[in-house]
């Protein structure tokens, strides 16, 4: 990859006239598949890998090439990760067969996984030694945001090459912001998840209270979503709760991972976060009762069980 040829300013100009990059995407799950598809539709040449190969089928049918991670690393101008857990990121990037050892100088490593800020810093330092530009860039918006290309992308890394990766993120994001140096994207996502975790408890308690008070719950959501109680979780996930639709837009097991990462970082900072600790207990209980692969809105079932009630299903 020629650094002058692919300077940020030149890339932005060429992208606007249809320039295509070679992009490798590792991790095509609930959100990653949609994000990758947006890049394909923008005209980029895409190579993909997923441990469950069938999850790449739709992308391959649309023109993506299925490759092993080592080949992706060798051939790509930018490699993008969307994995499940920090240990997955460490293994894929820094493990015995890690991609960092195979990547070209002056290429880009982008991690959309919600992961450890400390790991993001470690990867950045290792990448810097090879003249590879590393950015931690977790996203928020769930499956609906990924499909619509309206994610919020929180970026950590060096400002010097940010405009290059920002051009990619803008393809599937409604807002993108560089929040600071390496690890700051992950710290921003921790703050995001803290707000969501507490809000999810509030949404569930709101619905349980409304039910016991005899209120029409769809009408309740339709009304209060327009006031101070309004939130993404209420308007989108609250409706799914009423339909008893617990299909994952974001897996419970991944959300609990995020909560625990935030609690670990808070502990390192000397912070007490009782609301997040409570959410951790509830989501852990949900997993213990078989809800690991449910969507986060399945928190309803845990609090129903706590109160010995079950909401009716609304069509």
> Which positions are annotated as active-site residues?
189
Distance between CA atoms of 79 and 44, rounded to whole angstroms? Answer: 13
Rounded to a whole number of angstroms, the CA Rg of the chain reads: 20
Are 256 and 287 in contact, with CB atoms under 8 Å apart?
Answer: yes
Q: CA 130 to CA 107: how far, in whole Å? A: 10
CB 38 within 8 A of CB 67: no
Beta strands in the chain (DSSP E): 22-26, 45-49, 65-66, 78-81, 108-111, 133-136, 139-140, 151-156, 173-180
Q: What is the Cα–Cα distance from 198 to 205, expressed in whole angstroms?
A: 11
For residues 164 and 108, is the Cβ–Cβ distance under 8 A?
yes
In the numeric block, the tokens 């997993």 are attached to: 287
């Amino acid at each position: 990859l020629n650094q002058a040829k692919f300077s940020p300013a030149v890339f932005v100009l060429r992208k606007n006239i249809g320039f295509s990059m070679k992009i490798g995407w590792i991790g095509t799950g609930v959100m990653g598949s949609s994000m990758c598809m947006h890049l394909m539709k923008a005209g980029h040449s895409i190579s993909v890998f997923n441990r469950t190969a069938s999850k790449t089928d739709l992308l391959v049918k649309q023109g993506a090439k299925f490759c092993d991670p080592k080949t992706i690393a060798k051939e790509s101008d930018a490699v993008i990760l969307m994995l499940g857990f920090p240990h997955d990121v460490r293994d894929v990037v820094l493990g015995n067969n890690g991609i960092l050892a195979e990547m070209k100088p002056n290429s880009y490593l982008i991690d959309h996984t919600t992961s450890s800020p400390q790991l993001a810093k470690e990867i950045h330092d290792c990448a810097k030694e090879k003249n590879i530009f590393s950015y931690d860039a977790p996203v928020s918006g769930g499956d609906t945001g990924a499909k619509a290309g309206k994610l919020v992308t929180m970026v950590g890394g060096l400002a010097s090459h940010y405009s290059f990766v920002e051009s990619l993120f803008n393809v599937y994001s409604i807002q993108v912001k560089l929040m600071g140096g390496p690890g700051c994207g992950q710290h921003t996502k921790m703050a995001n998840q803290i707000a969501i975790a507490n809000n999810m408890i509030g949404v569930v308690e709101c619905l349980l209270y409304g039910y016991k008070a005899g209120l029409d719950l769809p009408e309740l959501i339709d009304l209060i979503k327009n006031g101070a109680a309004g939130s993404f979780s209420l308007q989108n996930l609250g409706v799914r709760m009423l339909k008893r639709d617990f299909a994952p837009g974001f897996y419970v097991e991944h959300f609990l991972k995020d909560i625990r990462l935030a609690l670990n970082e808070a502990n390192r900072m000397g912070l007490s976060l009782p609301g997040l600790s409570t959410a951790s207990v509830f989501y852990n209980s949900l997993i213990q009762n078989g809800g690991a692969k449910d969507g986060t809105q399945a928190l309803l079932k845990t609090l129903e069980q706590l109160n010995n009630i079950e909401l009716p299903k609304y069509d």
